[in-house]
A = this chain, B = another copy of it.
Amino acid sequence: MKIEAPRIGSFIPPVRTLMGPGPSNVSTRVLDAMQRQTIGHLDPEFVGMMDDLKVLLQYAFQTANELTIPVSGPGSAGMETCFVNLIEPGDTVIVCQNGVFGGRMKENVQRCGATPVMVEDDWGMPVDPDKLEAALQTNPEATTVAFVHAETSTGAQSDAEALVELAHQYDCLAIVDAVTSLGGTPLKVDKWGVDAVYSGSQKCLSAPPGLSPVSFGERAATRIRTRTTPVQSWFLDLNLVMGYWGEGASRSYHHTAPINALYGLHESLLILAEEGLETAWTRHRANHDDLVSGIESLGLSFVVPEAARLPQLNAVSVPVGVDEAAIRSRLLTDFDLEIGAGLGVLAGKVWRIGLMGHTSTPENVAYVTKAIGTVLAD
């Protein structure tokens, strides 16, 4: 019955160039921050760091929302935070799906005991506002619209501002998935009136995975405070979480915050603030444009129409007859280079090349173009 101690050594990871759909490469500054001494989650010094982190997140989201925090879990925990807090059993929620993550939203709605009404667009296309409006007209009981701003599974960007405006016209709140957009492409939470938004630490912020920045506007906060049923998750119940992340010195213990991961996110947000959001957006766009030239020079083509392409996530069609997994495997083995596979209906049909955050550099564009060209030519 006794289990003996296993003989295992320390794990020394290889150094990869991370050009998949996330995680992106993490800078030395952020890794150094993660290595600093752990302190207590109620230490006044740590509480001061939390306050700064909120201000930095407000900048990244372009919002003055008080309820702006990193959820202590990955992006899917951030998604669930939005749904379990804003949706009640019996609600009708309009979910726009044009890739994997709209489907995950549907799952969340169903598990909240609510009814999803799906608005479907082809994978690789942006969400069609006309279809959303039609669904809003035929479902006047809907309380909420949910959609993905930047579909990580396809690389398509939707017009978040227009979709949020439609939701509001029909008296719905808007939940926006900004996992891949935050820090890489314009996202203006207050200007667009986004009610609830979630993101991830490991995309254009280039911190390690594991944290999910979220922000809730006043309409959303009011809905959370006035729900008639308890939030089904204790861990993600914002009424409780805010006792820890809220204003004032007397933070009450809810759960133990992931101290060192938060050090890393804090440093990654500092780097973004130093560069400036607009400059970061411009950089992502410029490196994307170079990638387009490089990829097209190899005779390859993009899945998403030019106007809707995300600069930070590029779905490239796999040429007929090419074993896409074998190519990725060779890139990893011979070039220490990770690119992503397709998901869902695009599995086997596309590669996903990320140019996110710290990864988005001219050097990496040149490297991935050269490497893919070399491997395809063999």
Chain A residues within CB distance 8 Å of chain B: 1-6, 8-16, 18, 20, 22-23, 25-26, 29, 31-41, 43-46, 49, 52, 55-56, 58-59, 62-64, 72-77, 79-80, 104, 107-108, 110-112, 188, 190-191, 200, 202, 208-210, 230-235, 253-261, 263-264, 266-267, 270, 273-274, 276-277, 332, 338, 343
Q: In the complex, which of the residues A10, A62, A258, A338 has the most CB atoms of chain B within 10 Å of its own CB atom?
A: A258
One of B6, B46, B59, B75 near A55 (C-beta < 8 A): B6
Q: Are A49 and B11 closer than 8 Å at their CB atoms?
A: yes
Q: List 13 A-B contacts (CB under 8 A).
A: A1-B62, A4-B59, A6-B52, A11-B267, A14-B43, A31-B260, A34-B35, A43-B332, A72-B77, A75-B256, A77-B235, A107-B234, A232-B232
Q: Are B23 and A76 in contact (CB under 8 A)?
A: no
A11-B52 in contact given A41-B209, A43-B16, A234-B107 (Cβ < 8 Å): yes
- Residues of B close to A44: CB separation below 8 A: 332
| A9→B26 CA distance, assembly (Å) | 19
Report if A108-B14 is in contact (Cβ < 8 Å); known contacts: A25-B38, A261-B210, A274-B5. no
- For the complex, would chain A's binding face be called helix, strand, loop or mixed by DSSP majority? loop
**Alpha-carbon separation in the docked complex, A58 to B73 (Å):** 23
Q: Is the CB of A234 within 8 A of B8?
A: no
- Residues on B with beta carbons closer than 8 Å to the beta carbon of A200: 256
Inter-chain contact A111/B234, CB cutoff 8 Å: yes
Q: Output the least CB separation between A84 and chain B (Å).
A: 8
* Inter-chain contacts of A231 with B (CB < 8 A): 111
A228 CB to nearest B CB, Å: 15
Q: How far is the CA of A15 from the CA of B276 in the complex (A)?
A: 32
Using known A-B contacts A8-B270, A72-B210, determine if residue A16 contacts B37 with beta carbons closer than 8 Å.
yes
Q: Is the CB of A43 within 8 A of B190?
A: no
- A113 CA / B190 CA spacing, docked (Å): 36
Residues of chain B with a CB closer than 8 A to A3's CB:
58-59, 62-64, 190
* B8, B26, B73, B254: the one within 8 Å of A235 (CB): B73
Q: Given A3-B58, A34-B35, A59-B3 in contact, is the A74-B256 Cβ separation under 8 Å?
A: yes
A101 → B minimal CB distance (Å): 11
Q: Report the 4 A-B pairs with minimum CB-CB distance, sorted nearest first.
A: A210-B258, A35-B35, A208-B260, A5-B273
Closest to A80 in B: B235
- In the complex, are the beta carbons of B77 and A11 less than 8 A apart? no
Cβ of A43: which chain B residues have Cβ within 8 Å of it? 14, 16, 332, 338
Given contacts A1-B191, A77-B235, A234-B111, contact A260 B255 (CB under 8 A): no
Task: Please report the C-alpha to C-alpha distance between residue A235 and residue B44 in the assembled complex, in whole angstroms.
Answer: 32
Q: Which one of B39, B52, B74, B79 lies within 8 Å of A72 (CB-CB)?
A: B74
Contact A264 B260 (CB under 8 A): yes
